[in-house]
A = this chain, B = another copy of it.
Amino acid sequence: MNTVLDRIKICYIGGGSRNWAWVLIQDLAFEKEIAGTIHLYDLKESAARDNEIIGNRVMAENNRGRWTFSAGPSLEDALIGSDFVFISILPGDFEEMAVDVHEPEKYGIYQSVGDTAGPGGLMRALRTIPQFREIARAIKTWAPDAWVLNYTNPMSVCTRTLYREFPEIKAFGCCHEVFNTQKLLRTVLEEAGAAAGTINREEIKTRVLGINHFTWIDRASWKNIDIVPYYAEFAEKYADKGFEAPGEKNWENDYFSSAERVKLDLFRRYGLIAAAGDRHLAEFCPRSWYLANPEQVREWKFSLTPVSYRIENRKKLEAKAAAYRDGKEKLLPVHSGEEGLRIMKALLGLGNLVTNVNLPNKGQMPDFPLGPVVETNAEFSRDNIQPLVSDGLPGDIRNLTLHHLYNQEGIVEAAFGEDREKAFRVFLNDPSIQTLCRDQARELFASMTAKTLPPRHFALGG
């Protein structure tokens, strides 16, 4: 572990990103305790080059962070000597994602996101796992001691792949869904009388457990206040009509927003706080509950995000990137609230941090099998992560969750074994696919694999 705090090297795989990469640039602009270089690596090298220019400009303009950005075509160069590796890639392109999300609609299967559970999540996994195996091998060869932060979905499957390919890897998965839930808990307290703006998100302490995007909070507090009773009141008040946050974005005009009805409904069912967006949560539940058809989705006040929207949005981001690159617009440094930087600093020894994170289960989820990736709190300290042992999930949620966890294990095995039949059997076990008869399921599987799995990535046996 590097202890020369002004010569940190970060390798950013997917460094052409116009989302996390910009967040990182913005956060680093404020950073004074550590400094170094960020090597941006991307299959689309020009995008990485843009970010090199953007990053260096932000540093130059704000003279606080002392970081140098560079982009290049060699993953080896990017990795060698790295203290940290970020992975934030889009496996395939939005064309493949359109298949993930919209092909199943022909069979009456609707997906609000389509990147984690359901047929879309499984297909995305099949496409991503071979890439993550390559990445894991590269890290094993060139940066075996680096800490690896994964931001790519499907989070559990990708992180599991890294460990399966290179068991000694020091990797974990970061996701901000829990933070959004903590913000909602702040809102709950404000609804109950706390003065607006007095509570920081970090002060909301939550006991996190479960798996990514079907994550739960079984204890929540702010200082000496137990938040759960207030949340119960909040659920009673808003579960039926929905809670619409003030501001411009709401579920009717924003594909990523919701009225929290799914979350509050799950609380009324199980007494635990679901800690992910409604769009993700719905996909883990029996499809008859929230995703039976587009009308039901509307009733529950969330959205089926069309991939066409993502394609549109990408064009805007490309234009934005060009504007930043060419100096026509400025990327302003703001604190993102993301914890990537705080986690890196904790791993360097600059202040321990307890937060939620995705890691292979080695006991933190006592009622789950050891090995698969789960999400709980963990303490980050110098060159060390230790997950906190949770009390486990109540039986009913555990049963819903394990079904997906075992399917995730199955899809990883199928992908590692390049075994098409095994992948299909896992597909059959997905709760939404279970509503189809086998012939339909076979047809859908065949059409999705044909359109999204290029032979080079997943040479499925026959």
Contact = CB atoms under 8 A, between A and B. Distances in A.
A431 interface: yes
Contacts of A428: 269, 286, 396
A356 to B, nearest CB: 12
B434 A348 contact: no
B425 A384 contact: no
A289 B222 CA distance: 49
Given A386-B390, A395-B410, A435 B435 contact: yes
A383 interface: yes
A94 interface: no
Interface stretch (A47-55, A61-69, A181-189, A401-409): A401-409
B382 A205 contact: yes
Interface in A351-401: 352, 354, 362-364, 366-367, 369, 377-379, 381-384, 386-390, 395-396, 398-400
Interface stretch (A138-146, A223-231, A302-310): A223-231
A237 interface: no
A378 to B, nearest CB: 8
A219 interface: yes
A225 B205 CA distance: 29
Contact of A395 (B5, B349, B390, B406): B406
Interface in A400-425: 400, 402-403, 406-407, 409-410, 413, 422, 425
Contact of A377 (B222, B270, B379, B425): B379
A147 B381 CA distance: 27
B429 A399 contact: yes
A198 interface: no
A350 B225 CA distance: 10
A396 B382 contact: no
A80 interface: no
Nearest to A365: B363
Interface residues of A, number: 66
A396 B429 contact: yes
A5 B225 CA distance: 11
A403 B395 contact: no
B395 A402 contact: no
Given A379-B354, A388-B386, A399-B410, A431 B434 contact: yes
A403 B399 CA distance: 6
Q: Looking at A222, A350, A364, which has the most chain B CB atoms within 10 Å of its CB?
A: A364
A436 interface: yes
A362 B395 CA distance: 18
A288 B434 contact: yes
Q: Looking at A369, A389, A402, A435, which has the most chain B CB atoms within 10 Å of its CB?
A: A389
A224 B426 contact: no
Interface string A324-363: 0000000000000000000000001110101000000011
Given A403-B399, A425-B396, A364 B382 contact: no
Contacts of A398: 406
A449 interface: no
Contact of A3 (B224, B350, B403): B224
A221 B413 contact: no
Contacts of A379: 354, 377, 379, 388
A364 B378 CA distance: 12
Contacts of A366: 362-363
A322 interface: no
A399 B388 contact: no
B410 A389 contact: no
Interface string A1-15: 101010000000000
8 contacts: A1-B226, A3-B226, A205-B382, A221-B381, A288-B435, A388-B389, A399-B406, A402-B406
Interface of A: 1, 3, 5, 205, 207, 219, 221-226, 269-270, 286-289, 292, 296, 348-350, 352, 354, 362-364, 366-367, 369, 377-379, 381-384, 386-390, 395-396, 398-400, 402-403, 406-407, 409-410, 413, 422, 425-426, 428-429, 431, 434-438
